[in-house]
Each structure stands twice: as C-alpha cells, then as structure tokens.
Structure 1
Amino acid sequence: MDYQQKLKSYNLLIKMGENITSSLNNDEILDYILKEVIAVFPAADAGVLYLYDEAQDILRLQSYAGFDGDILLKNIPPGVAISGTTFARKKSVIINSVEELKEYIKATPDIPLERFTRGMPFDEYPKAIMSTCLIIHDQIIGVITVDNYGLAQKFSEEDMELLKAAADYAAIAIFQSNMIKKEKYYIKELQKSKQDLEKMLMIQNHFTDIILRETGFPGILDYLAEIIAFPVVLYNILLEPVGHSQNGADCQLPASFLNFSRYNEFVKNKLKNIMPYKVEQETYFISPVIGKNKLLGFLVVFPGTQELGEVEKLALSYASMVAAQEWLKQDAVFETAQKGKGDLFHGALSGFIDKSLIQHAEKLGLDYRDYFGVIMVKKGFSTPDSSLEEAAREDKLLKDIISLLGRYSINGIVIPERNLIYVMVSFPKSTKTGQKKIIEIGCEILQLNENIQITVGQLYENLSNLSKSYTEAWECFEILDKYPMASKIINYEQLGILHLILKLETDELNSYIDKILKPLLDYDAQKDAGLLDTLQAYISFNKNIKNVAENMNIHYNTAYWRIKKAEEILHQDFGNTQDWFNVQAACMLYGIINRNEGY
C-alpha cells in the first residue's frame, strides 16, 4: 500500500469515527461504512454486511453495495457461504482467485458457484474476496465481506487490517445504536407504566365511588364496559345471566363453553386468573368472581375478534373483585331477611301468637288475621353436579319462588331448610278463591324445576292456625314417601277422605282394592278391554261420558258401553251413593299404589 493509499485509509477511519459518534441511525451508519470501505479499496467494487440473530441462530443481511439485491441470500446459517463460514470459523479470510473460492466453499455444496455472481449483465465470478468478523466485547455480532469483480487486483494483508478497523467501527456503531434503542425502549416502557398506573388508580377510585354510591351490578358493569369499550355480562356458576352492561343485553356465551375443561377447572378449583376462550374467530375473556373463597360466578367480556390490553385485563380483574363484594353484600342482606322470615314462620307454627310476633308479621307486610297456608317443596336434584353447582341450583330455586310470589302479588315468605323449602302464603279475608290460588301457585312452582315434588296444605284463618296447613302438607309427603305417585304435586284438599284411608297398611288397602276391583282387573287382563282406564276417566270427568270419549279419543258409544260393562262386571250400581263411593275410592287407591298417570 503506497503513501497516498495509506493516507486515504487513515482519513477514512477518522471520517468513520466522526460519523459514528454523530449518527444515531443504525441502518444509515452501516450503509455508510460499507460504501466507504468499498470506495477506499482499489481492488473492491461490491460488499455485504450481515448481523447475527442469536434467537434464530442465523445471519441476516443488513446492508449491501454493488450487488443486485435479488440474488443475495437474505438469511445465512453459520457455516454457509463466505460470510457464514467466516462467522462459524471466527477467522478472517482473503481469497484472491476463483480456485481458492471453489476450495473455500466446498463445505457448503448447497450453495453453487453461480450464486457468487452479482446478478448483473456481463457478470463473472469474483476475482478476490475479503471477509472479517464484527466483534464487540469479545462477541461476534456479524460479518463484513468485500468483493472484487472487475479489477485485476488482489487484496493484501494491509487491506485486511483496514477492513478489520472498519469492522470495529461498524461494531461500535451497532453497539451504540442498540444501547440507544434499549434506552429509548425502557424510557417508553417507564412512561407507559406510569400512564397505566395512573389509569388503574383512576379506575380503582371510580370503582370505590361506585361501591359507596351503591349502584349495584349495573353501575359496575356499565363502568367496566366504558373502560374496555366492549360488552360485559355477569353470570352465576350455572352460566345464567345475573346482569349486563347496557351494550351487553344480546351477548351470549357459546353452549360449548359448558363442555370446556377449563370451565370445569374453574368450578372445581376456584381458579383466579383470567381465561381467554376462543371459538372460531370469536374470543371471550372470562374472569372468575370469588368471594370468601367461594366461586360466585363469572364476569365475561365480549370483544369479538379483538384482544384486551394489559390495563383492560387489570380492570376486568379489579371489577371481578368489586362484583364479588357487591354479590356478598346482597347475599348478606338476603340471608338476614331470610332469618327474620324463618323466625316468624317457626314462631307461628308454635300456635302462640303474641304481640311481638304480630309486629314482626306486620313488618313483613302480613296481617295475622288473614288466611294462611303452607306449600312444601322437596328438592331432589339428582344430577351429577358438584356441591357448588347444587348449592347454586338450590339458591336459584329459592329466589325464583320468591320472584314468583312477587310476580303474582302474593304475600308470603319462603324458608329453605335442609332438602325442603317452606312457602307460607297469605290471602286477605275478602279473597273468595284463596284455596284455588294456593294450588295454582303450587303448580307454578312445579314449573320452575323438574326435580322437585310439591304438597299443598289448606288455607286457615289466622296465623295461629298455620300449623294445621303445615301438618297437612307434611302428611301429603308422608303419603308420597309410602305411595310414590306419577303426579309431582298433591294438595291435601283434593285427597279428601283418602288421607285417612292411605294411613292404613298397604296389605289392608290391597285387600280393599281386590274386594271391589278384582273382577274388572281380571277381565281387562284377559280381554285387554281398557275398562279400568275408562272407569278412571269416568271418575275424573265426574261421570261425563262425552268428555271421557273426547279425552280417550274413542266413540261416545264405545265409552258408554265400557262404563256399563264395568258396572255389570263389578256388580256395583254407579247410581247408588255407597256403591259409587266404594268404586271411586278403590280406583283412586289403585291408581296411587300402582302410580298410574293422574294420581
């Protein structure tokens, strides 16, 4: 290298140093270094610069000059091609002939020699190549390679020293740029964290205000929906909506969520973290609502195909805690009210009505002089639910019955005890159809759940007589236990004298039934004539043959013939009061003991 060339090289290094310390743009400084290096070497007319991606274990092209970009390898594994081999060997190399190049790339047969052309017209293989590593803090971070395609000059060791010096500057520039990028990133993250913290403090303060203003679930859900800009719905653990934001009225969880293993994990283990649940393109963010170590329900966000940010997720978690507090508060108020109602109910059953009990009844909107009756509801949840879900179903049934009484404007109280729910109803003296209404209420309660049985006592005047209705309803359950019936509701008034008869031993009842009905049962068994069914319908429709025929979908004459035939076989006169009573009683007892439909 002559004096002029050395001077030019030193000026290049000085100029590089000045530019590196003044530039903050990593891409610009790398392009500048590569172009200046090519310019300073008489034997160089092209070059590439690769940086190492440690995470992917690959060299990525960062800058090039003198090449058609389409022909260059954008990503090179260590040990592949010139730059990859230099990186893998951690050793600089000078190649001054095509023969040396062929020898050098033997280790990478997948890269043909043709790849070393520049992809330009009248191109040829490089006559000389020089490649060295970019090193900072004893760590190789990349490779710079320069090529000579057109000149009949070779690279020297002095050229390599200059290239190494330029590579050191490039490494410093990259390190400096990365440090500045990291610093900017950390500053930005700190600013974002500060903003997020301020936003969360604002959200917490607003939720605290909601609690103090006692706006209940609507206030909590509407504010959360405002923060996250998506609909929100609150569910109990049976996945029945408890409340929703104004924009969440039409939102529904997919049925498949019930079969989702993560849901079962929530119910079983009361997990506390937010769960994203995806169905096709839709995503649902579900946060458990837990109070006093008890899973109360789920708070669900419906963002559609969008995601929730970290602040939004924190807001959802905080809203779940606030919802749990509101839930527990409402439960505490409800339980306190229920205790007071239970005290009144059990006090009235004693039959001793004092001034204190009368005042207690008045506070609950009851007049002790009105008519009172008892409906008993026996819970029989036989589904394989967890105890948590079973408790939720029982709680729902209780509140549904309370809601039912309110819907029908019926004065009453509802008291759960073990596997029973006692419903005490009250009707003013002026009500003429109170007994009919109490039966109707019993039938409505039966529609609330298929796993319950109901008995209804009669109405009695004055709260002091409540125990009579209670005893009647209880006796109906004793009959049900002894003689399970198809019907899930029995009212004491309908039983009439049967409540006395059914207290007899089963053998005695069967003997009575055989005495009256055996000839008819034998005839039906032989002829399959359907006489007993027709007779039972005849009793149910109060001897109206037209209604019997319509109900059984048979001709009037057929119904008439069957009744007359039954009368003949039984040797009973259906027009005789005593005979007809015996036939009615025997048929009803047969239906009850044998669980026929309608009994």
Structure 2
Amino acid sequence: MNAFDYLLSKLHQYFAGTPFSIWVQGSRDRHLQLSYSSVPKEEADSIHTHKPDEVSFHAGVDRYLYEEQADLCYLRFFFSEEGQAVVVRQKSDSSPISLTSEQWEILWLAFQLFVAEEMIETKSQEWTKLLQGIHSISATLDVESIIRDIIGNALAVIPAADAGLLHLYDADIDRLVPKATVGFHNTVYRNFKLRIGESIAGKVFQDGQPRMYRTHPETSQAMIDLSQDNFDSLNDAKALHSLTGLLCVPISLEQKRIGVLVLHQFHQENVFSNYDLALLQGFADQTSIALQNARLYAESREAYQNMAAISEQLRVKHDDLVKRNKIHESIKQLSLQNKGTETIVKALGRMTAKQIFFADWLEQRYYPADSPILFSWDELSALLAGKRHPILVQLFSAQKNRQQSCYVYPLTNGSVFLGCLIILIKERHLSELERVTIEQGSAVLTLDLVKKQSLSSVLYKRAHDIFQELIVSKGSELFERARGFGLSPHGDYWVIYAYLSRSHDLSLLEANIHRLVTRWKWDFASSQVLTYGFHNHVTILLTPSSSLEVKEVIERLSDAVQEWELEKEVSLSIGAGSVVSDLEQIGKSFEEAKKAAHYLANRGRSGVVRYSDLGINRLILNQSQEDIDAFIRDVFEPLWEGQEKYQELEHTLLTYMRCSQSPQQAARELHIHVNTLYQRLKRIEELLSIDLHQPADLLKVQLACHLRQE
C-alpha cells in the first residue's frame, strides 16, 4: 500500500463516512490543487468548488492546524519547503471532528510520506530526462545539431518552463545572438541581438551570475533596459505580457563565457525553484563540455558506448523499480520471446479489451493481417507529420451512418517515424490502466521494430557484398555464384540503381532505404532476384520477361519518385541499365544504371532515366558539374557582358539551335523576318568569335546550348 492509499484509509476511518476532499500545494505549485474527493463532483459541489484559503508556512506555525468556516472544516498540514495539504470536510453533528494528537500526527506523517514519494518520483523522472538529454547531446558530431537540441532537452528536465532561447556570443559583432529556440517564432533570429550587459541575458553573460525571476513584475523590471528594437523583435516572436517567470544561466568553456541559456514561463502553473536554477546550470555546463568535445567524438566513441551501456542499464533498472507490475512483465516477456509484431498487437488488444491495429510505416502494412484499412498511408502521413504524442481522431462512416472514435499513437525512433497504434474506443478517453498498457506496449513494439530494422541492415550489407562479388566474377566462379542466386547462364537480366540524396539524418535515411526495399520487393516480386539497400542507394536485380514488363517497371518507379517528392524528405534519382542476356554483362547493366542515377543526382534532379535514353549525355557523365558550367560560361560569356544588350541575341541563338538550324522555323518562333535572323546570327558569330559554317564551332555551340537546357 502506498502512502496516499494509507492516508485515505485513515481519513475514511476518522471521518466515519463524512464527505471530504484533499487539496495539495507542492513546492513547485503556485496554488492549492484538488487531489481527491471522497464523492463524485455532482454530489458534493461545496467540497469541490470551495477552494481553501492559502496559508503561508513560516517559523512558529504548527505542523498542522484546524479551522472552521461556515459549514466546512479545514485540517491544514504544513511540510516546510515541500508544501502543504488541506483536508476539507463538511461539518456533521452526527460525526464531529475530534482527533487525538496521535491521529493528527499519523495524518501529518502520512501526508509527509506522500509528499516525499511524489518528490522521489519527480526527481527520478528528472534524472531520466537529464540522462536522455546528455545522451542526445553526446551522440552526434554535428555542433549545429547539438545547439538545436539544447533548449528542448532543458525544457524536458525543468517542467515549470515552456519556452526558451540559447544565445551564443558573436565576437564579430560583439553581441549575443539566438542560436536555438523553442516556443518562440523563428523571427527572433532576424534582429534580436543583445549587447553585453543589456537586459537579463546580457547581465548574466557579463558577470556570470545565474538569475531567477518568479513573477511578471520582477521579470519585467529586470528587462527594463532592453532596447526598443530588441523588445519589438522578442515580443513579435512571443507576447511578453504573458511572461510570468525566467531562469538564466551562463554557458562557460573553462573560465571563458561563451553564451547564456534562458528558460521562460508563459503558461505553466508551477514556479521555478533554486533546484531548477542549479539543474539548468549543470545542464549548461554539460552543454559546454559537449561543444568542446564534439571534434573529439570519434576518438571517444568507445568510451561513449560504455557510458551509453551503463545509462541503458540504469534506465532498465529504473523502469523495473518504477513499473514493476503484471502488465509490464507480460509485455516484456512477449518481447524477450521474440513473438513478433502481430503477437504483441494482439496481446495489447486482449489486455485492454479493445480493438487495436498497428500500421507499419516502414513496410507499409497493417497488423493483424486482416485489419480494416482505417487510414490510407497519405492520410497517416498528413495526420502524424511531426507528431510525437497520441491524438484523438473521429471517424465517420457514410455507409453505416455512424461515428467511431480512435486514438492514434505514433511510434518513433528519434526522428524516424516507425508507424502507429490505432485503438478504437467508445469513450473519449482511455483509463489509466489502458493508457499504461498502451504506452508499455508501444515501447516494446518500438524496440521490436528497431531490432527488425537493424537486422535488415545487416542482411542488406551481406546482399551487397554477394552482389559485388557476382558482378566481378568470371568463368566457372561466376556460374558457381550465379547458381547461389538461382540464375541461369543465358537469361535476361536488368539492374536498377536508386540514389537517395538530400537526406542528412542517417537514421531517417536508413528508414527510407528500408521502406524502398520493402516496397519494391512487393512491387516487382514476379521478376526481382535481389533487392537491397546500402548506404544511400538501393539496387534491384530483375529478370524481365518482356519489353512490356520493362515499361511497367519504369512506370512504377516513376510513381514512386512522385510520391517521395511529395513527402519532401529525400530526393530520389533512379537509373536503369540495359537489359542484358548474359551473366557476365550484369556488371555492365549495373554500371550503366549507376551512371544514369548519378547523372540525375549531380544535376539536382529526381526522376527515372534509362542509360540508353541519355544519348549524347553519356559523353559527359564523368564530367563534374563545375567543368560543365565552366564550358557553358566560356561559350556564352561574351553574350552575358551587358545582359540587357545581348539577352535578345542569346535567346535567338538558343531558339536557332533548338530548331535544328532552320532559319525559317527559328524566324517564325522568334516572330521576326528571316533577314533579321541572319543579321542577328552574324552579330552572334562576331561576339563569340565563331563561324557557324565550321563543323567544330557549330558542334561547340550546339553542345553548349544543349547543356544550358539540361
């Protein structure tokens, strides 16, 4: 029995059935909060609606106090800095309050134990979040990424704050400038620049002393010297009239201050404490260390892995202590026994007595296999974009003329969206037991999916190695390896190479690779021999049965490109090699597909292109874009000197080449007389120092015009 249950049992015993309510004010709370009522609200409005007056604790006040007002009795209990509690009870002639000193002491001790348990749980959560924050900061080489994560991690550790800014000192302009923000509009980056000593952040940077403000008046007074420009910029990003508190600590590197970390309170009911200030300072110190050691991350990787392993062990032990219950153990056993996704989802349904489905985003499939399709994948993408918390969705069936509510729980691994649990409900909320069950199941399901994805990555690496060995093999060794794939010596073979660019998040890239491989294995199941992903590309080996199937594959690949462009996560450039009829030519098809894909990627283009359709562009596949741009510039530069004067001539030349040097057709498209065209061409030859009747000059200009239009 926990402290609160023990407390309730004693109050029911002492009050003999008389209605009562409990109000608690913790060390972080601004006001008393209703924690419990012995009867439903509609049957005891006076106890619910009559909030007790708040009495500040100070030296000389007893640990408990009895008061009466009108028809209510107040039993007050004080716990020094931890807060206070008030038991509100209706007066009753049949059961008057007459507690012995021992009973008062028992109740006070029960409240004290309850407050202590709450504090222990809060501290435990803070440590968990702080360890996660340290892990996040230490797990990347990207300094910019570290800076972006600072505010989010600080807000996770200090719940009384709901917005924040991180300023770093810019020596070039001698100002503190925002580098990361949460809760403010991005316009704050444009003009907000603090002088040293200006406002709260400027003073903290100047003297290195942390500062804490708990009310709107004292915060406003501390910011009174903020310049008008900076005030307007900050107020545009977040209305300052709602600012009720602020924490600010310096960020130092050894003895040198490099910035400040500021947390703001706009809407939270809690108050900042000295502990929060110390915690924020510790977080800032960890941040400075992370920034200093970012360049040494590679050398420290082994030490970091050991620390991460210890942190994971602590997390597991902590979870065992806090959540040691039947639900947790049952779900954990499912994971340990490798029961699989469908088994876990069905177990969650049994435990909650609800219909639960899982939409696997990476593999684009529902579990259980016979689940109704409640959402299309496009709908899920739009519904859960950027979401990390469950959302309530109302579904309406026009055919059955009825409405259905469901909770959608997104499952993520860092920045990677893995899928979501869909829970059909009749009420508008889940019970506490159901919520805990779903959250525990979500965690186990996420681990199972990550494990499956990691295993797939290992298999992809093995498939890559085997395929590379195949395409470089010759003679009997080639036939031996081909038999391992089930390939005949003289079949038709075709290689597709898909290159993913514009993806800087490695975890997200790996997830996208897995999605593509899974989809294309299904799409091309009838002819695909091997499909795998490696680093930032996907390779497919096909055995097409006809030219019609080749055309169908190209169309499906084009559809995939269009769908991925809509998501705006990565750019997909796909190359297709030639269809070859000999095992030894598979390597040739692979190289062609790779070159075609890189041709698109090097030009910043997505889409699908066959190597055979590149035409003259094959001659420049190995040329860098810089060389191509330099060639175009060398040809057209005389026309670019004085853009207004020669723009008409440049347009004339491009049109003339596009019309295959037909003067009549070019004149019609330009809406000029053919003699005017000849005059312009003469002027172009003079400016470019060429003779369009000379094959070498003509070829140079034709190639430059072609590259301009690519």
- The TM-score, its normalising length taken from structure 2, stands at 0.42
Greater C-alpha Rg: 1
The structure with higher relative contact order (CA 8 Å, sep 6+) is 1
- The TM-score, its normalising length taken from structure 1, stands at 0.48
